[in-house]
A and B are shown apart, each in its own frame.
Chain A
């Protein structure tokens, strides 16, 4: 039995009941997944815009995972006085927490290192030899060093700002795309 909207047409003296099939929902949620029924896929594609990801030159599989970086940052809390053997000071918990937030939000995971300047450094590398590092201090200052594939070095400064850092990282990988 049809369960759609029925329309009634007159053909001479004969009444014909013409049923239209039910309209499926455009999307439905099923077991925490978004399901787009086959019938809706043409319609729904009008409303979806896929951004093109930059092609990244470099073996990102070799980069640490987010969970590895979060664990690593936690381990920085255990760095006591003289952690490098040259009378270095511990890193502030506040800075470590700030870096944890950044790790959550970065589009690509960095390699992370402590310094004896009471700062934490995030490094990103590409196979073509280009490199960018962000040395972040408790006072929100960030010293940036970028090395291009011709080994030209350029230093700059930023104030701690998560979107600006994320953008700088994305631009770095876009510049070094294949």
Chain B
């Protein structure tokens, strides 16, 4: 698959298990769910519809899908890096050019501006 440059409004998706321990009492996602030493793994939209993207993720993940856009990542000075593997849409959101993990400020801001676009991945499973 040929890698396309990111579009500003391109959506990036992160699966989050539907366990109470990942959510705050007010229903929001804790930024703790976006903290990973190896960068934040996401699936990029890459010209697909949102439904196609979610259905693709449903083959591997369970729970909900949290979405942030490429532009939102840029707004917190994060760097989105394509890391295709057996998943051709796999990307990582890094803190910056030299730092893989997001800073606490970046994780917090992304948790605030992102949104859930699917509440139950299993309903998309084929």
Contacts and interface: CB of A to CB of B under 8 A. Distances in A.
B12 to A, nearest CB: 14
Nearest to A116: B36
B105 A113 contact: no
Given A113-B33, A117-B35, A117-B36, A84 B104 contact: no
Interface residues of A, number: 32
A86 B30 contact: no
B25 A62 contact: yes
Contacts of B17: 83-85
Interface string B103-125: 11100110000000000000000
B104 A115 contact: no
Interface string A32-73: 000000000000000000000000000000111000000010
B22 interface: yes
Contacts of B30: 111, 113, 121, 123
A153 B35 contact: no
Contact of B32 (A64, A113, A131, A153): A113
A135 B15 contact: no
B105 A85 contact: no
B92 to A, nearest CB: 10
A87 B38 CA distance: 10
Contact of A145 (B33, B63, B104): B104
Interface residues of B, number: 27
Nearest to A145: B104
Contact of B31 (A62, A64, A87, A133): A133
Interface string A71-82: 010011000000
Contacts of B109: 153
Given A117-B101, A153-B109, A85 B62 contact: yes
B79 to A, nearest CB: 18
B37 interface: yes
B45 interface: no
A135 B35 contact: yes
Interface in A77-127: 83-88, 111-119, 121, 123, 125
A143 interface: yes
A145 B16 CA distance: 22
Interface of A: 62-64, 72, 75-76, 83-88, 111-119, 121, 123, 125, 131, 133, 135, 143, 145, 147, 153, 155
Closest 5 pairs between A and B when the two form their complex, measured CB to CB: A113-B32, A116-B36, A115-B35, A145-B104, A121-B32
